[in-house]
Copies of this chain bind each other. A is one copy, B any other.
Amino acid sequence: MGFMQKLQEAIAGNNSLLCIGLDPDPERVPRGLSIARFNRAIVEATSDLVCAYKPNLAFYETHGVEGLRALEETVASIPPEIPIIGDAKRGDIGSTARHYARAMFVSFGFDATTLSPYLGFDSIEPFIAYADRGVFLLCRTSNPSAKDFQDLTLDGHCLYEHVAMKATEWNTHGNIGLVVGATYPRELAHIRQLCPTMCLLVPGVGSQGGDIEAAVRCGTDASGANAIINVSRAVLFASSESDFAQAARMSALNLRDEMNRHRVSR
């Protein structure tokens, strides 16, 4: 079963658009707990409430080899029916991208990964060649400096529009999606219009300030689905005490239900 189908089944099965970003900030993980144990507790408390998990590799690489071992353990702790998006934002020339693709899909075993589009098609192709895996291209990101390059109007269209259009053109295997920040609902709505059937990964809700209602309304497709709304800190660090897993569950439950209230078939 390919990534996109696995994702749709998880969205339907758990009735959820919520993706939890497994980003164990070392300054906020409860003392005395390893990253792998922290993540496992979060996963055990929330895996019936999410459509996906998204570990960002920075939070593992920051600890060197030991951190990456914790990432392996984290991947192993996630139930097989829940897709895992390795948020790595890689991008390199074709002959190198081949090795990154193997790293993400074979060595770490992710169902999907995020990619930076700056190097163009040959940096993406080795990833989409894994037709049963998914790829999310950075399009309009959630950070304040996204405007530095992504909003430049080049040959009549913003850079991020060029990326969205190219992604559509490249999507012959049906396994490409786009990353669009919830912090820019107007751009999100615009990209949804440009790419009506593409899967959108929408980070930026919660600590980054993105609004849930706008993320769901602008990010979902005509069926009220096909969008992954990511929340990291607001779930992971809902409590800094020993009840962190229960608090994460309550937060995830509330987020899922609030997202569902805004889902509309159009």
**What is the 8 Å Cβ interface bit string for chain A, positions 50-87, against chain B (1 contact, 0 not)?**
00000010110111110111001000000000000000
Q: Which of B63, B103, B148, B153 contacts A62 (CB 8 A)?
A: B103
B58 touches A65 (CB 8 A): no
CA distance A42 to B63 in the complex (A): 27
Q: Report whether B146 and A120 are in contact in the complex, using a CB–CB cutoff of 8 Å.
A: yes
Please state the number of chain copies in the assembly. 2
Q: Indicate whether A152 sits within 8 Å of B150 (C-beta atoms), given known contacts A64-B108, A93-B142, A99-B58.
A: no
Asked if residues B119 and A145 are in contact (CB atoms below 8 Å), the reply is: yes
Nearest B residue to A137 via CB reads: B118
Q: Which of A116, A155, A163 is most buried by chain B, counting CB atoms within 10 A of its CB?
A: A116
Contact B62 A68 (CB under 8 A): no
Q: Considering the complex, give the chain B residue whose CB is closest to the CB of A63.
A: B107
B159 touches A143 (CB 8 A): no
A64 to B60 alpha-carbon distance, docked (Å): 13
Given A59-B99, A65-B68, answer yes or no on A145-B123 (Cβ-Cβ < 8 Å).
yes
B68 touches A64 (CB 8 A): yes
Chain B residues within an 8 Å CB radius of A142: 93
Supplied contacts A62-B100, A93-B143, A121-B145, 17 more A-B pairs, CB within 8 Å: A25-B99, A56-B96, A58-B90, A58-B99, A61-B99, A63-B107, A65-B65, A65-B68, A89-B116, A91-B118, A93-B141, A119-B141, A120-B143, A120-B145, A122-B144, A153-B154, A154-B154
Sample (26) of A-B pairs whose CB atoms are under 8 Å apart: A58-B90, A58-B99, A62-B100, A62-B103, A64-B103, A64-B107, A64-B108, A65-B69, A89-B90, A93-B208, A94-B144, A94-B145, A117-B118, A117-B148, A119-B143, A120-B143, A120-B145, A120-B148, A120-B150, A121-B145, A122-B143, A122-B145, A149-B163, A152-B154, A152-B159, A153-B154
Task: Give A residues with C-beta under 8 Å from B.
Answer: 23, 25, 56, 58-59, 61-65, 67-69, 72, 89-94, 96-97, 99-100, 102-103, 107-108, 116-123, 138, 141-150, 152-155, 159, 162-163, 166, 208
